[in-house]
Every structure is written in structure tokens, then in C-alpha cells.
Amino acid sequence: MTSRRDFFKAAGIAGGAVTAATVGKFALAGLPEPVIQSKPDTMPPLVPNTGRPYNPVVTLNGWTLPWRMNQGVKEFHLVAEPVVREMAPGFKAHLWGYNGQSPGPTIEVVEGDRVRIFVTNKLPEHTSVHWHGQRLPNGMDGVSGLTQKSIKPGQTFVYEFVARRPGSFMYHPHADEMTQMAMGMMGLWITHPKEKHPLIDEVNRDFCFLLNAFDIDPGSYTPKTMTMLDFNLWSWNSRIFPGIDSLNVRLNDKVRIRVGNLTMTNHPIHLHGHEFTVTGTDGGPIPQTARWPEVTTDVAVGQMRQIEFVADEEGDWSFHCHKSHHTMNAMGHNVPTMIGVDHRDIGKKINSLIPDYMVMGERGMADMSEMEMPIPDNTAPMMTGEGPFGSVEMGGMFSVLKVRKDQKPGDYKNPGWYKHPAGTVAQPYKGVVAKPTRSSSAGGQSMPRTQKPSKDFEVQIRKPTAHGEH
């Protein structure tokens, strides 16, 4: 994390306009220095040393933006700019974001805080910032052309309002929105309660992240912004597995996870080994009578979901979107399914002409994680991640909740792989397996067809041969 003392001089925007709107002139005496972060690691929580105290959040593969106090007002400085984001080891994307990263830094405040956010535009086009879910004056809502003029390149605008209610929120542009969000412009906003709240529990660990998606061709660097729905990189905070950090907690910790969705589809977020309760949305905390236990919660487009649970089961527990193609990295579309097709003979013939030709897909796609074959520069394998028992065969929106009894309070470091007690790991069965009995009498169609086929067809099935441990 670095501070750019000579930021305006270096950026060549010292003479850029600062639009104050209803902000007092004292605010313009000097802007807070922009704080920049380029590392993709999960940073420790930012414990407040000014302003009212609160229990800070931990942003997965992200960080919290520092502030300064100015006559009782909490001031932040966001810089909209092109960034380079490492999405996974060896794979970098040229995105747009804030303060060196996509998503931008998390903004944390306390209910009742007066907040002033300076936004400097270093993009090649105009922008704005919409404070998603906030109650604020209409002129601070951040919709270009409707509630404000756009922030032109080189300009600095200032937003000011009171954080009126606690909860989990987002910020993102409302100017050329499709392009700018497809390029990664978004961030989290957390408003903590000013005092003990009857519907907001105190927790030991408080994580947050955003769901976002990109369409980046393998071997390229810049997202295709005209993609509507057919994305190929499903990410958490602009990271894809195995580049997403694990969520490391202490046994019996009360854990809160805040998830925001700024993709173009819903995401059923699933946690293994535990039940959780959905306790809040961007509309606020959910009444106790409206909560119920879940292991999967659907996060729709533009929504925040807040889940809570007690981490009372030790182990390495999967945590992921339950749409299977969202747990894969860049993949081909419209690829024919070859399962059961015996193309060994044709494979030999093709191989005589193309020595590097490989037969794929006849036994499923697990082969993809086993093959040692070159992939385009600047991309990630479709299924990857090496676990303690072999390839995890995942990508995209996938991480691990690591629960350990010896994880110290406030320690977020990765504890390594879980050491399973003897006799608690599934093993190959070494006894005799009886031949299964199959029944053909069960079931049947609800009513006869009106038109019968001219002849009977028989489906031929070739069972795949064993390979590896699959």
C-alpha cells in the first residue's frame, strides 16, 4: 500500500476541476492523499484509529481504504484509473478500477458518520459513482445526466452525505455502466452500527467480497465489454481459483460473510459442512422471524446477501457458486460432447498427420486437469488447483473455508492442509463387491404416445475405461 504525495503533479491533473456541489469551502483546502494498493492478497483488517470504533471487515483478496478526519467529517479519496489485476498466478488482466485495484478498496464507516468522498477520474472517458443501496440526497446518487454532470477525465468530484443506516452496500459507475463494470469498476461499502443493534450480532470474523465476471480470450489481457451473458471468467473480487484466498477461521468462531453480485446472472453460493442463516441484505438486517437455515443462498443481480454461522466443524470446506460452469476457468463454448464415442482409430490416423493431436472428452473432462499440455500465454487452466489428494478440478468462483482449533484470534494466515484424524478419510473398498440387482419394472410414462416411431431404436453405450484415480 503506497501513498502518492505528488499524485496530482504526476498525473498532470493539478488544474482539473473540483466540483463541490453542496460541500463547504473548507473541504477544498486540501485533498486527502490517494492511497494505492497493487497487491492482490487479502490484507489484514483496518482497525480504526480515528473516528468511532467498530469491528472491521476482511475483504477477500482486497483491502479497506484509509481515511482522514476533517472537522468531524470522514474523508476518502477514490481514484478511477486503469489497473493491472492478477486474476490468478501467471494470469493478469488489464482492467479499470479504483486506487490500483479491481474491485476498488472497501469503504468502512459507522452509522451516523458524515462522509466525504473525493473521486478523481484518470480514465480515458467520463465516469460517476453510484452509492448502491444508500439513503442520501438525490444530487449525490451518482447517475450521470440525471443527478449530476459526468466526471470528465482529469476532474475531481466530491460526494458528501451521512451514512444513515447500517448494512452491506456497493459502489459502481452509473456512466457508460456496461463498459465500465465489464472492465471491473466496483467496490464494497460497509456501514457498521453505531451501537449494539438487536438484529446485528457481534462476530469473530467478518468477510466480504463481490461477484464479478469477465470475458477475456485466452492469451489476451483486456475484457470484451460487449459481451452480454456469455462470460468465460467467473470471479470473486476479480480473482479466479486457485487465485482466491481461503477464508481462515478459528473453531467455534461466529463468522459473517457478505456477498455482493454485480454480474449479469444469479449465483447460488454454497458452503460445505455447515448450515448458515441469511441475516441481511442491502435493504438492512432481516427480522429474526424471517430467517431460516440454509446451506445455499441465491444472490441475484444487484443484490447483497449477508450470511452467518458458527464454524464448529474442523476441516477444509469447499465454498463456491453451485452453477457448475461458474467453477471453471476460460472454456470453449459450443464444444460437442464426446463421452462414449470411441475415436481411438481416427485419433491414430490424425496423429500420423498431426503428432501433437490428443484425444479428449471421450471419458469426461477430468482429463483436462491431468494433461500436461501448453496453454496460451496469460491465461489459467480450465480446471486446476492442487489439493492434498490431487487435483481439485475447479476454477472460477471457488474457495475453501479452513476451520482450525489452533487458529489464533485475529490470525487470518493460511494454516495449510487439514490433518484428518485416523479413519476419517474415504478409502478404496478392498472387499468383494456383489453384483447389483437391477429392476426393470419400476416407473413408466404417464400416458401413451399418439404417434409411435416407425421402428425401435437401441441406444448403444460404451462404458469408459478406468484412468488414473477417476
pLDDT, tens digit, 9 for 90 and up, residues 148-188: 999 999 999 999 999 999 999 999 999 999 999 999 999 99
Q: Which of 27-41, 222-236, 270-284: highest mean pLDDT?
A: 270-284
Taking 80 as the threshold, does the pLDDT of residue 332 lie above it? no
Q: Which residues contact 98 (CB under 8 A, 6 or more apart)?
A: 78, 79, 80, 81, 104, 105, 185, 187
pLDDT at 22: 39
Whole domain around residue 96: which residue ranges?
A: 2-197
User: Residue 79: inside a domain, yes or no?
Assistant: yes
- Judge contact between 307 and 277, C-beta under 8 A: yes
Give the pLDDT mean for 305-312: 98
Categorize the per-residue pLDDT at 469 as very low, low, confident or very high, splitting at 50, 70 and 90: very low
Mean pLDDT of the region 83-94: 96
The confidence band for 6, taking pLDDT boundaries of 50, 70 and 90, is: very low
pLDDT band with cut points at 50, 70 and 90 for residue 205: very high
For residues 90-115, give the mean pLDDT: 97
Rounded-to-integer distance, Cα 435 and Cα 440, Å: 16
Check whether 467 has a pLDDT greater than 60.
no
pLDDT at residue 364, rounded to an integer:
55
pLDDT greater at residue 377 or residue 24 = 377
26-31-32 Cα angle (round to 5): 120
Q: List residues bridging with 383 in a β-sheet.
A: none
Which of 209, 303, 320, 305 lies closest to 262 in space, CA to CA?
A: 303
Give the residues across from 258 on adjacent strands.
Answer: 208, 306
Per the CB < 8 A criterion, the answer to whether 137 and 95 are in contact is no
Is residue 384 in some structural domain? no
The answer as to whether 159 is a domain residue is: yes
When the pLDDT of each residue in the chain is averaged and rounded to a whole number, the result is 88
Q: Mean pLDDT across the stretch 215-238?
A: 92
pLDDT of residue 13: 36
The per-residue pLDDT for range 28-85, each reduced to its tens digit, is 458 999 999 989 999 999 999 999 999 999 999 999 999 999 999 999 999 999 999 9
| Domain-embedded: residue 93 | yes
Is residue 298's pLDDT more than 90?
yes
CA distance 66 to 62: 13
C-alpha grid cell, residue 101: 485495484
Residue pair 8/34 in contact by the 8 Å Cβ criterion: no
Phi-psi map region of 445: left, alpha, beta (phi>0 left; psi -120 to 50 alpha): beta
Which residue type sits at 394?
M
In angstroms, how far is the first alpha carbon of the chain from the final one? 44
Q: Which pLDDT score is estimated for 11?
A: 38
In a domain, 202, yes or no: no
Parallel, antiparallel, or unpaired: how do β-strands 247-250 and 253-261 relate? unpaired
Q: State mean pLDDT over 274-287.
A: 97
The predicted pLDDT at position 367 comes to 58
pLDDT value of residue 436: 85
Please report the pLDDT score of residue 411 as a whole number.
96
Position 357 in a domain: no
Mean pLDDT computed over 95-111: 98
Rounded to a whole number of angstroms, the CA Rg of the chain reads 26
Is residue 23 included in any domain, yes or no? yes
Does residue 347 carry a pLDDT above 80? Answer: no
Instruction: Tell me how many domains the chain contains.
Output: 1
The CATH number given to whatever domain includes residue 190 is: 2.60.40.420
Report the range of poorest mean pLDDT among 153-167, 289-303, 328-342.
Answer: 328-342
- Copy the grid coordinates of residue 271: 458452503
pLDDT of the residue at 230: 84
All cell numbers assigned to 9: 503533479
- Determine the pLDDT at residue 363: 58
Give this prediction's pTM: 0.85
**Which grid coordinates belong to 229?**
451473458
Least confident among 23-27, 101-105, 275-279, 367-371? 23-27
Position 289 in a domain: no
> Among residues of the chain, what percentage have pLDDT more than 70?
83
SS (H, E, C) the chain: CEECCCHHHHHCCCCCCEECCCCCHHHHCCCCCCEECCCCCCCCCCCCCCCCCCCCCEECCCCECCCEEECCEEEEEEEEEEEEEEEECCEEEEEEEECCECCCCEEEEECCCEEEEEEEECCCCCECCEEECCCCCHHHCCCECCCECCECCCCEEEEEEECCCCEEEEEECCCCHHHHHHCCCCEEEEEECCCCECCECCCCEEEEEEEEEECCCCCCCCCCCCCCCCCCEEEECCECECCCCCEEEECCEEEEEEEEECCCCCEEEEECCCCEEEEEECCEECCHHHCCEECEEEECCCCEEEEEEEECCCEEEEEEECCHHHHCCCCCCCCCCCCCCCCHHHHHHHHHHCCCCCCCEECECCHHHHCCCCCCCCCCCCCEEEECCEEEEECECEEEEEEECCCCCCCCCCCCCCCCCCCCCCCCCCCCCCCCCCCCCCCCCCCCCCCCCCCCCCCCCCCCCCCCCC
For position 29, what pLDDT does the model report?
55
pLDDT level of residue 341 (50, 70, 90 thresholds): low
Per-residue model confidence (pLDDT) at position 375: 76
* Res. 372: pLDDT tops 60: no
Say if residue 10's pLDDT is above 80: no
**pLDDT (tens digit per residue) in 391-414:** 999 999 999 999 999 999 999 999
For 412-466, how does the pLDDT look when each residue is reduced to its tens digit (9 = 90+)? 999 999 999 999 999 999 999 998 887 777 677 788 778 777 777 666 656 555 4
pLDDT at 119 over 80: yes
